[in-house]
Structure 1
Amino acid sequence: MTDDHRRGVVAATLAFVIWGLAPLYFKAVAAVPASQIVAHRVLWSVLFLALLLVLRRQWPAVRAAFADRRLLATLFVTAMLTGGNWLVFVWAVTHDRVLEGSLGYFINPLLSVLLGRLFLGERLRPWQRVAVAIAVAGVLWRVIAVGQVPFIALFLALTFGFYGLLRKRTPVDAISGLFVETVLVLPIALGWLLWQAHAGELFWGRDRAVEALLPLAGVLTATPLMLFAVGARRLPLATVGFLQYLAPSLNFLLAVFVFHETFDAPRLLGFVLIWIALAIYSVDLARAARPR
């Protein structure tokens, strides 16, 4: 393993570990309504990313993005997708639904394969078709056995899947793109916080310890993204594909063993089917990535 490859593994692993342990942070600020947490996440992300852009001297890319109307429209759509994804994920964590959230991020890689087939004309290899079919069976089993559609999981998988689909075609780097996205939704976030303050519902002056944690939302948003970008540039796609399961796996372990959410046999079987599908997908991905 070369030094460059080792740095890539370390960076990507840290990114997925941070994403995987993020529920601990959101549990710590659970006294704050989910909508206000997301608004703070937008606000502090803009400030933190602006500092990073100054240090990395990437303002030309930001100016170019704001000058391109078509790119700006795409980034507004991706900003709404990530905003919705953040809101539902934070709500799920603060309402003891981390397990269902982890299911969504387990489904996401397989959904991305399907979206690539539907919208980009990418062909599904035979084993990819098998993996997608088993994943669909896992979701259907969950609906039949548990008696409810996993709306949280499906929403998280769909929003993140479409986000990845759009960003794949967006000619802007990760940090500059995220900064533009957050700037575009900043007026909404600030407007919501001001409205909550006007209505007397703003969580401020109630718990100084919790309020002191809110600025960390920006760091938790940008840091893993930067680490992921470092890893993705240095690692084969198959390696990144394997490592990405760290985040939902950590979410799953936190939900079951730390937060003690309900996890019975029907839910277990649904997860097992998704895990089998992911195993097939990962092996197929690794085989396809081998040099011929």
Structure 2
Amino acid sequence: MTNDHIVDSSFGYYINPLMSVFLGVLIFHERLSRLKWFAIAIAACGILWMSFRLGHMPYISLGVALTFSLYGAAKKGLHISPFVSITLEAFLVLPIFLGYVIYLGETGTGHFLIGNTVYTVCLIGAGVVSALPLVLFSVGANHLPLNVLGFCQYISPTISLLIGIFLYNEPFNATQMTGFGVIWLSIIIFTISDIREQIHNEKMAKLAKKNA
């Protein structure tokens, strides 16, 4: 975000749910329908096509997708409550970032506790703004249907994409547009498959309840 890669990061967050699904198969041995595998294959083709056209792999996008999906897989494997997990995460990285903040202060390039109260308050508030969506997402995952939750995951990258293009005037060429289009197509196919599976499962559950 700081280095004008908002569009690249939004592309990564579009890929993230599909990457999470792949990790679910790889790590937790979850099963996918043929249509979902087809959706993942389309997304992979979109990434490879963009890499070929741009002359390099979209490292930032893939880095965002891979790290965040691994983060989700770790949370799923540990089975820790949202508040406890985020608190532990904060304490784990605290020594590293505290040292970095002290270093910035000593070299005169920091903004935290350096004479400007507004900067200090905003930096503290940024921590709250960062943690609150993670907590709400964890809580929502336990209360929302999977199709609703999956759809909500695409609201944030869509907003980021629009901000990057129209507010910060980041470049968005035909290659990127085609790559995004392929990813969107894979998302639509995956969502349709997921909805069909849920409808089928609900029908089977009702039938089993009726027979019982």
Note if contact 1:175-1:222 (Cα within 8 Å) is conserved in structure 2: no
The 8 Å contact of residues 15 and 65 in structure 2, kept in 1 or not, is answered as yes
Residue ranges of structure 2 left out of the alignment (5+ in a row): 204-212
1:288 aligns with 2:197: yes
Residue 139 (structure 1) aligns with: 47
User: CA offset at residue 184 of structure 1?
Assistant: 1.5
Q: 1:181 aligns with which of 80, 85, 89?
A: 89
Aligned to 2:155: 246
Map Cα deviations across residues 229-273 of structure 1 (whole Å, 9 max, x no partner). Answer: 332222111111111110111111111111111011111000000
The Cα offsets for residues 131-171 of structure 1, whole Å up to 9 and x where unpaired, read as 11110111111111122211110011000111111110112
* Structure 1 residue ranges without an equivalent (≥5): 1-92
Matched, 1:221 2:138: no
Q: CA deviation at 1:211?
A: 3.7
Task: Give 1:216 deviation, angstroms.
Answer: 1.2
Letter in 1 for 2:51: V
| Deviation larger for 138-147 or 196-205 | 196-205
SS of residue in 1 equivalent to 2:32: coil
Q: CA offset at residue 209 of structure 1?
A: 4.1
1:195 lines up with 2:106 in the alignment: no
Quote the offset at 1:197 in angstroms. 2.2
User: In the alignment, what sits opposite 1:39?
Assistant: none
Are 1:260 and 2:169 counterparts?
yes
Q: Percent identity?
A: 38
Structure with max Cα Rg: 2
| Superposition map of 1:44-123 within 5 A | 93-123=1-31
| 3-state DSSP of counterpart to 1:94 | coil
Show the counterpart of 1:164.
72
Separation of aligned partners in 1, 2:180 and 2:127: 31
The whole-number CA distance in structure 2 between the counterparts of 1:206 and 1:266 is 46
Q: 2:184 aligned with 1:275, yes or no? A: yes
Give the TM-score normalised by structure 2: 0.88
Distance in structure 1 (CA, Å) of the matches to 2:20 and 2:150: 12
Range that drifts further, 210-219 or 266-275:
210-219
Matched AA of 2:56: Q
Name the counterpart of 1:125: 33
Task: Specify the SS of the correspondent of 2:78.
Answer: coil
Which of residues 37, 47, 57 is equivalent to 1:149?
A: 57
Counterpart in the other structure of 1:63? none
Corresponding residue SS for 2:57: coil
Q: Which amino acid aligns with 1:240?
A: L
Aligned partner of 2:208 in structure 1 is none
| Structure 2: distance between partners of 1:226 and 1:192 | 26
Go from structure 1 to structure 2 and tell me whether the alpha carbon gap of 1:233 and 1:123 turns closer, same or farther (over 3 Å shift): closer
Q: Could you tell me whether the CA contact under 8 Å between 2:82 and 2:139 is conserved in 1?
A: no
Q: Is the 8 A contact 2:111 2:119 kept in 1?
A: no
Q: Aligned partners of 2:188, 2:75: CA distance in 1, in Å? A: 26
TM-score for both structures, normalised by structure 1: 0.65
Q: CA deviation at 1:221?
A: 1.8
SS in 2 for 1:215: helix
Taking only aligned residues, the RMSD between alpha carbons, in angstroms, comes to: 1.6
Distance 1:119 1:248, change over 3 A: same
Q: Secondary structure at the match of 1:214?
A: helix
